[in-house]
């Protein structure tokens, strides 16, 4: 009941008429002054380059979700202006307004996310400017669509150069250090060039949805993955199954129930839902900033422990399902097979056969290069953790083994010339660098680390040019009028008297 009251409050905030525009306008004026005080954006210092008669960008970022936007700010703080390519239409970057179905974010509202240490750029400041401090105090968690509204505002006030409707279809690093990127926009394919390419491609950044073997060959009319774009209103009146018990499973189940599903059976392999979110216990600065420096054994041990313990579904998301009488939590009910029989789907489990109209698979994401044809040219050459580290028996982990073995600045490593000019700033970087490349808690830390590192690489690569600039620097500090030369002989005589 308490959750329902909160949700009504949150939705009224999201949909009601906001406070006068002057509140947000005043915040934006404060932000402009903050940025001026901090000297942001920094002065450009990298000499523009060209290749084959075409301009070469300093940094191209694939993805304009919260990771890409945070990196844009961090790069501009060090005098680098990136271009962000996103295949989504304007204002629909990332999952928040498309495939995400939670009512609220799972992160505490106090986390500063992509604010980059600038208070007036935070969600808190944006929210209070429109709705007031009392409403902020009453808010429990941030409504999902309101977070998307904040990111839209964030993009505008940080002047991010986002090119929407630009789909990357091929990536080819070159031996001379330039990365060629084939981009499709308006049904025209063009080759872009960049000195550094960053993949800010999200949770499924190097793969896609995990589809269990028992769904292979089953007609797609009868099932979907929880990450698929789908109109849940089409499930009204149907008996639905949901495989899994994580956050996305609860969100899918609740959305179906709220759209009039006749029933929802959650098919849960475990006999007990996990109750403690172990990943919260790892959120300390020492690990945020120090994952990369840990011995391999500890990197693996920490990430595998969190994976094995599993993250429980949020309290509110679970209540959102269980408040419906036609929701059923089937524990210890592992799915074994699924077969279409007439117009029904027969789902065989360890508890028996469920006869359903539709099944939603909420089985997460996998690193699977075959699902990302745009990376076909680099995939065979990327060094993975399975060639770097062999865990002890019992600690095997498919996700970790498939993770890329990244260098100190998130760069891919391998035998392809120029491969290290591509930087993996998305979830698969977690084993090498920790969760600093996508999740809200440490996204600013990760963006700052990568941006500062890229600045150092550009200076190193152009060291002769920058030294020549240093030698040629001739802006006078003094013009000769600031002093009068003394008559030293006369002055010496005066001192000897």
**pLDDT value for 9:** 40
- Whether the CB-CB separation of 410 and 420 falls below 8 Å is answered with no
- Residue partners of 408: CB distance under 8 A and separation at least 6: 292, 453
Average pLDDT over residues 118-123: 98
- Predicted confidence at residue 282, as pLDDT, reads 83
436, 443 in Cβ contact below 8 A?
yes
Query: What is the per-residue pLDDT for 8?
Result: 37
- Could you list the beta-strand ranges (E) of 256-334: 263-267, 327-330
pTM metric for this prediction: 0.92
- Taking only the tens place, the pLDDT of each residue in 234-268 is 999 999 999 999 999 999 999 999 999 999 999 99
If one counts every other C-beta atom within 10 angstroms of the C-beta of residue 362, the result is 25
pLDDT in tens, 122-160: 999 999 999 999 999 999 999 999 999 999 999 999 999
Considering only CA atoms, which of 276, 272, 279 is closest in space to residue 304?
A: 279
Task: Tell the burial category of 28 from Cβ atoms under 10 Å away from its Cβ (0-12, 13-18, 19+).
Answer: middle
> Mean pLDDT throughout 3-18?
41
Q: In whole numbers, what is the pLDDT of the chain averaged over residues? A: 94
What is the reported pLDDT for 5? 34
Residue (of 276, 225, 274, 289) closest to 251 by Cα position: 225
Spatial separation of the C-alpha atoms in residues 144 and 3, rounded to whole Å: 15
d(C-alpha 219, C-alpha 170), whole Å? 30
pLDDT tier, 22 (very low <50, low <70, confident <90, very high otherwise): low
* pLDDT tens by residue, 287-335: 999 999 999 999 999 999 999 988 899 999 999 999 999 999 999 999 9
């Amino acid at each position: 009941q308490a959750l329902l009251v909160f949700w009504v409050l949150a939705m009224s905030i999201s949909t009601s008429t906001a406070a006068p525009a002057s509140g947000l306008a005043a915040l934006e004026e404060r932000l402009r002054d903050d940025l001026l005080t901090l000297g942001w954006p920094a002065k450009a210092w990298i000499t523009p380059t060209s290749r084959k008669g075409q301009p070469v960008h300093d940094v191209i970022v694939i993805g304009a979700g919260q990771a890409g936007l945070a990196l844009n700010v961090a790069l501009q703080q060090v005098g680098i202006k990136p271009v962000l390519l996103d295949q989504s239409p304007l204002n629909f970057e990332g999952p928040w307004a498309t495939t995400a179905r939670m009512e609220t974010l799972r992160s505490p509202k106090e986390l500063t996310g992509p604010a980059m240490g600038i208070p007036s750029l935070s969600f808190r400041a944006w929210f209070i400017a429109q709705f007031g401090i009392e409403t902020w105090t009453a808010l429990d968690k941030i409504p999902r669509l309101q977070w998307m509204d904040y990111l839209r505002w964030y993009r505008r006030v940080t002047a991010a150069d986002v090119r929407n409707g630009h789909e990357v279809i091929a990536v080819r690093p070159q031996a001379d250090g330039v990365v060629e990127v084939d981009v499709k926009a308006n049904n025209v394919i063009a080759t872009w060039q960049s000195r550094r390419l960053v993949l800010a491609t999200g949770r499924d950044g190097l793969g896609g949805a995990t589809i269990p073997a028992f769904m292979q060959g089953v007609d797609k009319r009868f099932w979907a993955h929880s990450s698929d774009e789908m109109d849940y209103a089409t499930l009204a009146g149907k008996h639905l199954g949901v495989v899994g018990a994580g956050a996305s499973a609860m969100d899918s189940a609740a959305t179906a129930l709220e759209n009039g599903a006749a029933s929802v059976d959650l098919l849960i392999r475990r006999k007990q839902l996990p109750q403690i979110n172990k990943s919260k216990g790892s959120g300390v600065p020492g690990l945020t900033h120090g994952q990369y420096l840990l011995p391999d054994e500890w990197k693996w041990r920490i990430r595998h422990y969190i994976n094995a313990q599993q993250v429980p579904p949020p309290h509110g998301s679970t209540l959102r399902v269980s408040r419906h009488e036609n929701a059923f939590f089937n524990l210890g009910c592992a799915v074994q097979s699924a077969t279409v029989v007439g117009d029904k789907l027969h789902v065989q489990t360890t508890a028996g056969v469920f006869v359903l109209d539709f099944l939603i698979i909420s089985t997460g994401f996998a690193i699977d290069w075959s699902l990302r044809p745009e990376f076909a040219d680099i995939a065979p050459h990327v060094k993975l953790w399975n060639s770097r580290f062999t865990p002890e028996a019992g600690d095997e982990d498919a996700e970790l083994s498939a993770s890329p073995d990244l260098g100190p600045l998130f760069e891919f490593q391998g035998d392809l010339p120029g491969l290290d000019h591509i930087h993996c700033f998305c979830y698969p970087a977690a084993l090498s660098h920790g969760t600093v490349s996508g999740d809200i808690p440490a996204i600013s830390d990760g963006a700052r680390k990568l941006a500062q590192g890229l600045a150092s690489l550009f200076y190193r690569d152009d060291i002769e040019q920058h030294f020549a600039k240093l030698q040629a620097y001739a802006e006078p500090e003094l013009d000769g009028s600031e002093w009068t030369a003394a008559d030293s002989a006369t002055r010496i005589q005066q001192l000897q008297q």
